[in-house]
């Protein structure tokens, strides 16, 4: 696996990033500091996580110059009608003059209470993000999306004047999403994988096949699962932990053989443990548009 993923802006994004979703306040500041001291140079947060201020503190305590860090945050769903204001808020919370990457968190405009904003189209949010990107290159170095399916992406590309640099999606052996990854690559869009371990109550860490590969390389099951994503071309991966030993342990990518990759990805068929969609389909029930309804 290469150490960097090159974005369509020309920027180099470190393949291994440090994620902060579900990292409890009070713990994430220290975790970010530990991560930077362990060598991570790519930090991912979001306004929705409610921890940008702490992440900013952790970055300061990490003692790594800002220009050596690749920093991502995300536009929150209820802020889709006021992205510039939201961007200024994120910059202020993170205490940074600029973002390396600013993502639309979900293609799902919401009202202040989080319910669907049915009068607003996420494509218009993208147009606003493009304008901000063009007018404020000093504040935003790249823009992208998250949780966007092939179907939704095709809709976006019909009107986009800036091709998203990144689509950040869930990827692990129970959620391989090969079609979406290949589609993105064909359009020059890099992928960032979140939840490479399968997120909370994932059985992957104790899966015997994962364990067998881990034993062969004398690494932890988490290292195997993180490396599985990092071994995919043009894919970066976020590892997330608030446990200092794990933060340090996870900072390691190994090269897997094609057979091992195939065997691990086959778990999607042999040991699936929950539904995998680029769009959490439960959201359809909440009144958000469902990407499956669009059709290719």
Catalytic annotation, residues: 49
101 touches ligand A2P (CB under 6 A): no
* Interface of this chain with ligand A2P, residues 248 to 267, rule: CB under 6 A: 249-250
Q: How far apart are alpha carbons 157 and 162 in whole angstroms?
A: 9
Residue 106 near residue 116, CB atoms below 8 Å: no
Closest contact distance (angstroms) between CB of 17 and ligand A2P is: 11
Closest contact distance (angstroms) between CB of 202 and ligand A2P is: 6
Q: How far apart are alpha carbons 48 and 32 in whole angstroms?
A: 17
CA dihedral 24, 63, 47, 246 (to 10 degrees): -40
Q: How far apart are alpha carbons 286 and 283 in whole angstroms?
A: 5
Closer residue to ligand A2P (CB): 151 or 268? 268
241 touches ligand A2P (CB under 6 A): yes
* Helix segments in 46-160, DSSP class H: 52-62, 83-94, 122-135, 150-159
- List the one residue from 77, 240, 277, 289 that touches ligand A2P (CB under 6 A): 240
Closer residue to ligand A2P (CB): 128 or 199? 199
- List the one residue from 222, 228, 235, 253 that touches ligand A2P (CB under 6 A): 222
- List the one residue from 61, 131, 220, 265 that touches ligand A2P (CB under 6 A): 220
Q: How far apart are alpha carbons 64 and 81 in whole angstroms?
A: 34
Residue 105 assigned to a binding site: yes
- In degrees and rounded to multiples of 5, residue 139 shows phi and psi of -105, -30
Contacts to ligand A2P by CB under 6 A:
195-200, 205, 220, 222, 240-243, 246, 249-250
Residue numbers in the known binding site for substrate are 105
């Amino acid at each position: 696996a290469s150490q960097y993923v090159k974005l369509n802006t020309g920027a180099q994004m470190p393949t291994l990033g440090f994620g902060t979703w579900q990292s409890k306040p009070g713990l994430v500041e220290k975790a970010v500091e530990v991560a930077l001291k362990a060598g991570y140079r790519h930090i991912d947060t979001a306004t929705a996580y409610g921890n940008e201020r702490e992440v900013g503190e952790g970055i300061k305590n990490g003692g790594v110059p800002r220009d050596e860090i690749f920093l991502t945050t995300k536009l929150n769903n209820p802020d889709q009608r006021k992205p510039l204001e939201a961007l200024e808020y994120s910059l202020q919370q993170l205490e940074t003059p600029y973002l390396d990457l600013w993502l639309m968190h979900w293609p799902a405009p919401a009202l202040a209470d989080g319910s669907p904003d049915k009068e607003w189209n996420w494509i218009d949010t993208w147009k606003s993000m493009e304008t901000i990107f063009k007018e404020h290159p000093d504040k935003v170095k790249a823009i992208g999306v998250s949780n966007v399916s092939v179907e939704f992406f095709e809709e976006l590309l019909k009107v986009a004047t800036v091709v998203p640099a990144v689509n950040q999606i869930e990827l692990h052996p129970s959620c391989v999403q090969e079609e979406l990854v290949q589609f993105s690559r064909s359009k020059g869009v890099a992928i960032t994988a979140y939840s490479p371990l399968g997120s909370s109550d994932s059985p992957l860490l104790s899966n015997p096949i994962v364990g067998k590969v881990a034993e062969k390389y004398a690494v932890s099951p988490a290292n195997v699962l993180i490396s599985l994503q990092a071994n995919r071309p043009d894919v970066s991966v976020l590892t997330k932990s608030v446990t200092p030993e794990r933060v340090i342990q996870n900072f390691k990518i190994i090269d897997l053989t094609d057979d091992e990759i195939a065997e691990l990805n086959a778990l999607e068929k042999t040991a699936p443990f929950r539904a995998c969609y680029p769009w959490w389909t439960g959201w359809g029930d909440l009144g958000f548009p469902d990407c499956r309804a669009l059709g290719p």
